Structure 1
Amino acid sequence: MPTSQQPIFTELLPGAAHWSMKIPKGFVLTARDLEGGANLSLLFYNPDNLLERYNAPDTLKCQHTFKLTAGHCLYSDMGRVFCTILRDDTGWIDTVCGVANKEKVSEKWGDRSYQADRNQWRQNGYDSLLVEVAKYGLGKRDLAANLNLFSKVSTDAEGNLSFAASHSHPGHEIALRFEMDTLVVLTTCPHPLNPATEYPFKPVELTLTEATKITPPLPLHGQAENQRGLENNRRYHCAHTHSFHSHSAPEVQA
């Protein structure tokens, strides 16, 4: 994988956990499914302007896809690219199912509380993300549609969704290279369509490394559209670097 050999940061997240971090442009976040069957739900925000956040419809629309995998870009609602998927051992990242709330988790796996059950309580993805975004002054209205790494949900001709059990195997990795400074918010709570009879506590290891030059360039799905998105990034960084905002050249629509 095109990253430096020595990790800058490593974090082991148990199941039902949540986490956040500002990741600088030019770094790679690699998630590793340790046991198989993990789910990692993510949201992205611009730490310099929290109104800019991950936009699932634009990400799928401009790349003409229902799923995401290596070579796809993840877009903000301002037409910029938060990050590029460098590696995806699973071949399919769910983009449409969101996270489960407390009611759904209680209905499926029973109700437990942290006060009574400590680390074996059954946290839900919605509240996990809400706790993390609150650290940055955000709330319920700021929770956009998220990604679910290590999970696959396909659809049939009638539009029925089908969860793929055992989609991710032990040791599978997904690596994201960040094309702009990004606030990453995530949770390891189970996917809302997971049919497991017992609440699945599945750990994920996170590693941060500095990206190295890629030769040849990563082949991007939707090459023309993604080049326009990366051009928007270039103009954005040019303005920030030189402390001015150009009004002569409008951003290119992805």
Structure 2
Amino acid sequence: MITKYLESSLKEEDACYVEDVAAGKGWLHLIKKGQIFRILDLKGNQAVDTLFINANDPSERYSVQQTVQRQANCLVGVGTKLYSNDDNVMLTVIADTCGDHDTLGSACSCESNTCRYALEKRYMHACRESFLKVLLETPNLDKRDQVNNLNFFMYVPFDEQGNLNFADGISSPGKYVEMRAEMDVLAVVSNCPQLNNPCNAYDPTPVRMIVWDKESV
């Protein structure tokens, strides 16, 4: 059962890792099995595009198809199990103060900037570029590892006909989503630079990555 708005008891001062990621920047970090990973929306309405890769076998990655099918739900919230292309659970969402995270819209790209907005927007920075830069800087990873991603804090409602709509964000400063790693995973993030989409109020802002060891939980 997927629910919303379950707060965490973990405190930032007890974390083993804390880093702020500027808007438009990429980030990659190893989250070990049993560790807790939180993404904190510092200023509100910031879309955080995220991939997960099995740290011990890069051919196993987050799968939107398996996740949606298993949950029978197109949105991510507390209780969501994030599945891989090998049908294994990679992470479980255990706390969330925002809710309704998107897992269908995928990442913005130069091509989507052109199609959605205008021809002259093609050369604006996009999440796929941030993903690619981080992946190419990491041994044993490349463009093939850039699969469909989650969009934390991005609100993409869909109607009864299944149409998706990019809407104003529903997050606010201090909202977060928290996951427990069920295997060693590489978390790969593009903190969205999108200036044309209301999801971040046309103002991309930093986000904070926080990790706790399982001994701290």
Q: TM-score range by the shorter chain?
A: 0.7 to 0.9
Paired residues, number: 206
CA contact (8 A) 1:125 1:188 kept: yes
Which amino acid is the alignment partner of residue 210 of structure 2?
T
Q: Which residue does the alignment assign to 1:202?
A: 205
CA distance in 2, matches of 1:144, 1:138: 12
Which residue does 2:157 correspond to in 1?
Answer: 154
Matches of residues 74-153 of structure 1 in structure 2 within 5 Å? 74-105=82-113, 108=117, 122-134=124-136, 135-153=138-156
Which amino acid in the other structure matches residue 133 of structure 2? V
User: 1:94 offset after TM fit, Å?
Assistant: 0.1
Within 5 Å, which residues of 2 pair with 1:1-254? Answer: 1-3=8-10, 6-105=14-113, 108=117, 122-134=124-136, 135-190=138-193, 194-195=197-198, 199-211=202-214
Which secondary structure does the structure 2 equivalent of 1:153 belong to? coil
Q: Distance between the aligned counterparts of 1:35 and 1:196, measured in 2?
A: 13
Structure 1 position 143, deviation (Å)? 1.4
Q: Which runs of 5+ in 1 are unaligned?
A: 114-121, 215-254
Q: Is the 8 A contact 1:94 1:151 kept in 2?
A: yes
| 1:9 partner letter | Y
Partner of residue 116, structure 1: none
Deviation sequence 1:15-67 (CA, Å, 0-9, x none): 11100011111111111111111111111111111111111101110111111
TM-score, normalising length: structure 2: 0.84
- Kindly indicate whether the alpha-carbon contact (under 8 Å) linking 1:45 and 1:182 is maintained by their aligned counterparts in 2: yes
Alpha-carbon distance in 2 for matches of 1:67, 1:193:
23
Q: Helix, strand or coil: the match of 1:62?
A: helix
Offset at residue 136 of structure 1 (A): 3.0
Residue equivalent to 1:250? none
CA offset at residue 211 of structure 1?
3.3
Unaligned runs of 5+ in 2: 1-7
Secondary structure at the counterpart of residue 58 of structure 2: strand
2: CA distance between counterparts of 1:55 and 1:196?
Answer: 23
| 1:105 positional shift | 3.9
Q: Percent identity?
A: 30
Per-residue deviation, 1:212? 5.7
Separation in structure 2 between the aligned mates of residue 166 and residue 86 of structure 1, nearest angstrom: 22
